[in-house]
């Protein structure tokens, strides 16, 4: 989201960031980017006055829940505004995988056709353009959900690599393992538990002096209680400088068992020259045909958590101890970043698509009948529900 906002500002566009969320303690100060910040209320007609006065040319929704809440109001009061959905990742896919994991079974079609999926895919259809961060999810949307390609755009990370320089911290300069990620994000918390209960004891058997440093925002008591210095399992919490702690570690561990989108923690590890050990979920949508800058475990190839944990642990020890392999994976990480996530090409494609759709908005919408149909019904059902909630709250 910050990459998108920065891009829009650099185009000379006037940008307003409107949010109903409470401000968090680690919030970015958008006013430093000359972005106007506005608080808006859920289920409240005050948004109608706000959007009418603002009268935007483009409205970007951050995830499908915000499109559900505000999309019909934008369509009603600013019908000519281009509506873009930033999916971030497919929430319904992450939810489906989580349900399958909890029930210890493979993902099936019923999981993909959940109520959440119906809501999320409907939001994608209703928008003029949806930004899809993963090529895997782009393919899923087109083939499984039959979403028209002209309302989708593959839009991965947009990283500023123009002045990028490799890390000066060599293999010998580094020590220990690192795992990083917001504790409020369920896949990250599951990965921490997987490390604690299954993987880390196996690593410590082979590397008794190694430490695992776990960083992440908003660590709950259940996370800090896992801290155990004798076991080398150190829950550090919030990192003031994530890149600094990442560059001090020799190997990044990301044993993700479910999730969606592409992983910022792994992109940051590559940026810092830190090879990683992860899973098929971790690398999804990030390779785009290139070699992975680490060692991976395909969780679907194992019958038990114990077997997959042993494989991950073996990979971790191997990458930690073999300097030549570590250096090879570090270089592959630099190459993958430059090839897949350099911002210039991604930004150019996005701006070109926005311009193209704006120039033929009526035709573009006419070619998406399902979206028009869903917009019609959502405008009615959501409008009346929102008006009922507003009246009830008076």
How far is Cα 351 from Cα 346, in angstroms, rounded to an integer? Answer: 9
How far is Cα 371 from Cα 226, in angstroms, rounded to an integer? Answer: 47
Check: CB of residue 214 under 8 Å from CB of residue 236: yes
- How much is the pTM? 0.92
pLDDT at position 189 = 94
Q: CB-hemisphere CA count at 13 Å for 128? A: 26
Question: Is the pLDDT reported for residue 375 higher than 90?
Answer: no
Average pLDDT estimate for 108-125 = 96
How far is Cα 206 from Cα 325, in angstroms, rounded to an integer? Answer: 18
**Residue 379's pLDDT band (boundaries 50, 70, 90)?**
low
Check: CB of residue 228 under 8 Å from CB of residue 201: no
Question: What are the pLDDT digits (tens) for 168-218?
Answer: 999 999 999 999 988 889 999 999 999 999 999 999 999 999 999 999 888
Which H or E run includes 136? helix 135-143
**Residue 377's pLDDT band (boundaries 50, 70, 90)?**
confident
Sorted by where each starts, the structural domains of the chain and their CATH numbers stand as: 2-159+343-393 (3.40.50.2000), 177-340 (3.40.50.2000)
Question: What are the pLDDT digits (tens) for 260-280?
Answer: 999 999 999 999 999 999 999
Q: CB-hemisphere CA count at 13 Å for 378? A: 26
Question: What are the pLDDT digits (tens) for 7-64?
Answer: 999 999 999 999 998 887 778 899 999 999 999 999 889 999 999 999 999 999 999 9
In the structure encoding, which two tokens stand for residue 147, read together? 């979403």
> Closest by alpha carbon to 251, among 235, 240, 265, 237?
265
Question: Is the pLDDT reported for residue 363 higher than 80?
Answer: yes
Percent of the chain with pLDDT over 90: 85
Question: Is the pLDDT reported for residue 380 higher than 80?
Answer: no
Phi, psi for residue 62 in degrees, rounded to 5:
-90, 95
Check: CB of residue 18 under 8 Å from CB of residue 56: no
pLDDT at position 202 = 98
């Amino acid at each position: 989201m910050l990459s998108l906002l920065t891009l829009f500002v650099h185009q000379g566009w006037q940008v307003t960031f409107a949010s109903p969320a409470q401000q968090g303690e680690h919030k970015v100060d958008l006013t430093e980017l000359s972005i106007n910040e506005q608080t808006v209320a859920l289920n409240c007609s005050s948004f109608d006055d706000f959007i009418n006065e603002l009268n935007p040319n483009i409205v970007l929704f951050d995830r499908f829940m915000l499109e559900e809440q505000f999309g019909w109001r934008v369509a009603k009061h600013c019908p000519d505004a281009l509506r873009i959905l930033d999916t971030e990742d497919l929430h319904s896919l992450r939810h489906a995988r989580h349900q399958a994991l909890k029930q210890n079974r493979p993902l099936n079609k019923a999981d993909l056709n959940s109520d959440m999926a119906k809501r999320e895919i409907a939001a994608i259809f209703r928008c003029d353009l949806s930004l899809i961060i993963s090529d895997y999810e782009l393919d899923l949307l087109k083939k499984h959900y039959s979403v028209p390609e002209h309302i989708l755009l593959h839009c991965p990370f947009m990283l500023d690599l123009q002045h990028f320089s490799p890390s000066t911290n060599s293999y010998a300069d580094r020590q220990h393992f690192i795992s990083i990620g917001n504790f409020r994000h369920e896949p990250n918390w599951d990965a921490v538990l997987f490390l604690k209960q299954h993987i880390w004891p196996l690593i410590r058997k082979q590397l008794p002096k190694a430490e695992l440093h776990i960083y992440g925002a908003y660590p709950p008591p259940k996370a800090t209680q896992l801290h155990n210095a004798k076991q080398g399992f150190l829950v550090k919490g919030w990192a003031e400088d994530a890149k600094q702690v990442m560059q001090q570690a020799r190997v990044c561990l990301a044993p993700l068992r479910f999730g969606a989108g592409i992983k910022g923690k792994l992109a940051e590890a590559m940026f810092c020259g830190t090879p990683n050990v992860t899973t098929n979920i971790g690398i999804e949508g990030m390779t785009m045909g290139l070699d992975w800058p680490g060692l991976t475990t395909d969780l679907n190839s194992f019958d038990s958590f114990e077997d997959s944990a042993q494989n991950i642990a073996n990979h971790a020890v191997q990458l930690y101890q073999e300097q030549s392999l570590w250096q090879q994976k570090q270089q592959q990480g630099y190459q993958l970043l430059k090839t897949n996530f350099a911002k210039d090409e991604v930004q150019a494609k996005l701006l070109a698509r926005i311009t193209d759709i704006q120039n033929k908005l009526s035709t573009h919408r006419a070619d998406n009948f399902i979206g028009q149909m869903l917009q019609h019904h959502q405008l009615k059902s959501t409008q009346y529900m929102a008006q009922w909630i507003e009246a009830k709250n008076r």
